[in-house]
Amino acid sequence: MNTVYKAHFGDQQVNFVVNVIHDDMWIAECDELGLVTEAKTYDELTERVWEIAPELYEMNLDGNPDGMKISFVQEQSYDSRIAL
């Protein structure tokens, strides 16, 4: 997993990469945040991640979620593309 730390006017700006797969349900994982969640649609999944990621960042990494960014990376195999 990739975590990018950038200095920004004395504050730490953090970008978390959330890996997304589709396996009958949409599943999101981010090891750095300790995040695993699922939803029926991709839009519901990204909304769910934004609901829980800030709290996980505060609890697990003692960070301030105001400057956090999330990159969603969809992983897809050749076979699974047909099922979508």
What type of residue is 11? D
- For 30-73, the pLDDT digits (tens) are 999 999 999 999 999 999 999 999 999 999 999 999 989 999 99
Which domains can be identified in the chain, with CATH numbers?
15-74 (3.30.2390.10)
* pLDDT greater than 80 at residue 83: no
Task: Give the per-residue pLDDT at 82.
Answer: 60
Per the confidence metrics, is the pTM higher than 0.75? Answer: yes
What type of residue is 25? M
- For 6-25, the pLDDT digits (tens) are 333 345 789 999 999 998 99
DSSP single-letter state for residue 27: E
Rounded distance between C-alpha atoms, residue 25 and residue 6, angstroms:
33
